[in-house]
Amino acid sequence: MKQKGILITVVAGLLFALSTYDLFGSKTLPVGLTVPAFIFGTIFLFAGPAISLLSNSEIIRKKIEKRALIISLLLIGAGAISFYAKLPGGRIEIILGVLILCFFYGTLVFKNKYEKWKIFARSKWDAFFLSMFDFLGIALLLLGMVFKIQHWPYADIMSITGVIVLGLGMISWNQKFKKEVIYRKETEDKLKSSLEQIELQHKELEEKQKEIIDSIRYAKRIQHSQLPTDSYISSVLQRLKK
């Protein structure tokens, strides 16, 4: 996973550099090619380093996740202050903070959330897609806000799509795990009923075993009562010797 993350970061960096040079410089390539390259390059330039960290333990990932959250919020806060104070660099700080929040921090959160909920889901794919819903919804919503600040096109579409995806994700989480809770409760009840039957059968077996042992003991007492005693046998032997 670490090597994949590094490879993705390198390729994303090349895409970002080439598309940025063409968009703001030479403008020799079609916009339909350079704009998607710029978008994907930007996204995976931040997601790539996070992907390289996914193979680490959960404790390490959560530590990095917290630091990334703090850094991104500080950048967004500083950028907002600079923006409203009409200081240079405010918008760049906001964009950088949102990108870190969406794609570096968001990738780590996605991994941790998936690892947490896959234990409770019947299928790992359920946990994967539901976690992906949350990841995409929050990313689209935050990017839509940035596009709105920058007066870039499709800002409203991205924001609305983000809200819809988040809403669908919440409904899906609720329905899926509501069914999962019902399924687990039914399974637990069946298991409890099976255990009660096993316990009842065990008690019945113990009672039958006790009856058999009592019968054997009773038969043994009867047998002993009918057999001659040692003293009687000894006296008979003495008489026979005479």
Q: Annotate 189-219 with DSSP letters as a single string.
A: HHHHHHHHHHHHHHHHHHHHHHHHHHHHHHH
Q: Return the pLDDT at 31.
A: 67
Q: Return the pLDDT at 126.
A: 74
CA pair distance 178, 40, nearest whole angstrom: 36
Output DSSP code: residue 120.
T
pLDDT tens by residue, 75-123: 989 988 988 888 888 888 888 888 898 889 888 888 888 887 777 666 7
Q: Return the pLDDT at 84.
A: 84
Q: Which regions in the chain score pLDDT beneath 70?
A: 26, 31, 120-122, 173-174, 176-187, 189, 222-242
Number of H helices, E strands in the chain: 8, 0
**Residue that the structure tokens 């090597």 belong to:** 3
Q: 177 CB contacts (<8 Å, ≥6 apart)? A: 120, 121
Q: Return the pLDDT at 70.
A: 93
Report whether 97 contacts 73 (CB < 8 A).
Answer: yes
